Amino acid sequence: MTISEQTKIELRELMSRYPQSRSALLPMLHLVQSVEGYVSQEGIEVCAVEVGLSTAEVSAVASFYTMFKRYPVGKHHIGVCTNSMCALLGGDNIWRTLSKELDAGHDETTADSMFTLERIECQAACTHAPVMTVNWEFMDDMTEQKAAQVVSDLRAGKDLQATRGAKVRTFKDVQRTIAGFDDGLVDEPSIDASMLAGLNEFKNSTKGGK
Amino acid sequence: MTTPLVPNLTLHWDDADSHTLTGYQRHGGYSALKKAFTAGADGVIQIVKDSGLRGRGGAGFPTGMKWGFVPQNDGKPHYLVVNADESEPGACKDIPLMIANPHSLVEGVIISSFAIRANHAFIYIRGETPHPIRRVRAAVAAAYQAGLLGKNIQGSGFDLDVVVHSGAGAYICGEETALLDSLEGRRGQPRLKPPFPAVAGLYASPTVINNAETIASVPAIINNGADWYKSYGTEKSPGIKLFAVSGHVKRPGIYEAPLGITMRELITYAGGMKSDLPLKFWIPGGSSVPMLTADHLDIPLTYEDMAAAGTMLGTGTPMVFDTSTSVVKAVIRWIEFYKHESCGKCTPCREGTYWMVDILKRMEKGKAQLSDMDLLVDISAQISGRSFCALGDAAATPFPAALKYFKEEFEEVIKMAGAQA
Ligand SMILES: Cc1cc2nc3c(=O)[nH]c(=O)nc-3n(C[C@H](O)[C@H](O)[C@H](O)COP(=O)(O)O)c2cc1C
Ligand code: SF4
Ligand code: FES
């Protein structure tokens, strides 16, 4: 695959957002990943030319960040949080279930290129543990059953809604959102009971006629 | 008397449109901005100083004082950088805040930038969280459209541009100087201090870096006054905070309350312990601060009281663990995290976390000896205070903290696993 002229225009658009164009490098690599499904050598070269760095300099940056992948990611990226809180609340079992179901280990992609599985670190959602992500959208309060269902729904091409986030699209689609381009999904409902826990408690106590 | 909950930032999260400009303005959103312009830049800094607001990113540094360090009339551009990289294990307050109430952050950014004379602000959001990225981007776009950002905001003569930036998966980029390197398009490794960012930060210009919750707290302070804010909390820890309670409680979630509330009260608000098992240990604010036990449930959650108890308030996002928890497993996963996230710049942290994980894994597999506990204590001591940045100190925290209360459990695991092998 090659980086199109249209993508180069968008890379320049990202650069123009910053006082110094190199600041756009992370979003630019996200955009490359949204086009290629990973940070390809060509993507690195294009970014280097645009920003005015050597390819070695851009590679050094890309390799520092875990979100940038050196091999093509499957259609869907599945993350399972196995940091302490999630692990103890069921995340380890979810990991085992999915790893078996997909026949893939950490950072591995299924033979049909449908899924890439990754053990992820705390996703800033411990109140919703155990947490899983599909293309980085939250799948909160998971169980082994729900996690397996998510995978089978994705296989069947069914519509799926993130718990706090948008409807599930592909890894590449979401990479484009992360790079900083609008996707029209901002209004999808995403406030849940855990986020309202304190507010509801407050309202109950004041309603209780104090 | 029980400390009441005080929804402030969270007050309208049950509105379906709480994240929109309309939703925010329905409840007085952006009215603090006018007051800020009237008070003037120095006036705003003074109000924030008087309010006693302290940084919500973990260290609790007084916000107004930090703003006061920015040189005046130095002819250089100034920058405000919002730290929304939330990645510390246990911390889960900034992400919900940005999902539910992104305009409080944007209004806070405008007022704070005005105060420190910055015409450019950046919101550095953790890359793995597309939804807050969407919502904050949309809030910024709406603010531009309404003339709340851009040139000559509301006829004040103040210009401000805001860029929403995405990280790419590196906990170390939450450290403020590493964040600046990352925002400059480099590997995110901490910088030597001094110079401090207030003097030479982004693009070597004066820069203020504040946590997302800190900045989002500013509009209400300007609107209601420093005295209002100080009427909550304690003298040294004034105000209101988002407490994100996770773990073995019936209703984990966000509880907004004055500083000084106790963990016992928070657990009660959260419906009590999940399976009615007793509490084993809890951590007040992220895996980087030492754990406490049931003996500490009545200590006020303030910066000073937590320090006196040998820990820190940190991010104020308590993790609660009941007696079903293996403290050994919890500690192993945290230290594995620090090993994974060590940026590799300095030897004690890079090598020390490697060896700690190696020994802990050995422990898990039943191949450890009791003397390995001393070895772990020793390695922790070699990392702590000898590392380039606070990530090293954080990595050296969980094991000694756990050993203080649960030495027998580690010994049992070593002996039992040894018997199995
Ligand atoms: C390894 C490490 C990670 C950090 N991560 C964050 C973070 O995600 N968000 C944050 O606000 N502060 C984080 N901090 C603290 C920041 O360095 C800094 O103190 C803070 O952003 C200042 O804002 P405040 O004064 O408003 O708290 C981190 C510090 C370290 C050492
Ligand atoms: S303490 Fe760790 S994270 Fe901090 S600079 Fe040293 S190696 Fe990097
Ligand atoms: S430990 Fe999994 S989201 Fe925090």
Report the gap between the CA of A124 and the closest CA in chain B (Å).
4
Co-location of A32 and A110 in the same domain: no
In a domain, A99, yes or no: yes
A33 and A89 share a domain? no
* Residue A205 included in any domain: no
The whole-number average pLDDT for the span B211-227 is 98
For B358-367, write each residue's pLDDT tens digit: 999 999 888 8
Domain boundary among A22, A43, A64: A64
Q: Where are the beta strands (DSSP E) in B74-160?
A: 79-84, 120-125
With respect to residue A38, please indicate whether it lies within any of the assigned structural domains. yes
Q: Tell me: do A55 and A90 sit in the same domain.
A: no
Q: Flag residues of chain A having pLDDT under 50.
A: 209-210
Which residues of chain A does B18 touch, with a Cβ-Cβ cutoff of 8 Å? 191
Q: Are residues A104 and A45 in the same domain?
A: no
Residue A204 lies in a domain: no
Our count of domains for chain A comes to 2
Q: How far is the C-alpha of B412 from the C-alpha of B363, rounded, in Å?
A: 11
- pLDDT cut 90: percent of chain A above it: 96
Give me the torsion for CA of A51, A57, A58, A63, rounded to 10°. Answer: -160
Note whether A151 and A110 are same-domain residues.
Answer: yes
Q: What is the pLDDT of residue A1?
A: 62
For residue B136, give the H/E element and its range: helix B130-145
Counting ligand 2 atoms within 8 A of each CB, the residue from B172, B338, B340, B347 with the most, and so the one to mutate, is B172
A19: its two tokens:
């006082």
Q: For residue range B315-347, what is the model confidence (pLDDT) as tens digits? A: 999 999 999 999 999 999 999 999 999 999 999
| Pair (A95, A147) in one structural domain | yes
Domain of A43, in residue numbers: 5-64
Residue of B176, B339, B388 to test ligand 1 pocket, by largest number of atoms within 8 Å of CB: B176
pTM over 0.95: yes
**Backbone phi, then psi, for B180, in 5-degree steps?**
-65, -45
Q: Residue A129: its chain B contacts at CB < 8 A? A: 246-247, 252
**Beta carbons of A127 and B203 less than 8 Å apart:** no
Share of chain B above pLDDT 90, in %: 96
**Residues A101, A14 within the same domain:** no
Mean pLDDT of B367-381: 94
Greatest extent of chain B over all pairs of C-alpha atoms, in Å: 76
Does the beta carbon of B387 lie inside 6 Å of ligand 2?
Answer: yes
DSSP-derived secondary structure for A23-66: GGHHHHHHHHHHHHSS--HHHHHHHHHHHT--HHHHHHHHHH-T
The DSSP 8-state label assigned to residue B191 in this structure reads P
Task: Give B-chain residues touching A126 at CB under 8 angstroms.
Answer: 89-92, 244, 246-247, 252, 317, 319
Residue A178 is assigned to a structural domain of this protein: no
In this structure, the answer to whether residues A82 and A160 fall within a common structural domain is yes
Which of residues 71 through 110 in chain A touch B, CB cutoff 8 A? Answer: 79, 82-85, 87-89
Tokens of B406: 């649960």
CA distance B266 to chain A (A): 9
Ligand 3 environment, Cβ below 6 A: A 81, 83, 85-86, 122-123, 125-126, 129, 131; B 89
pLDDT at B419: 52
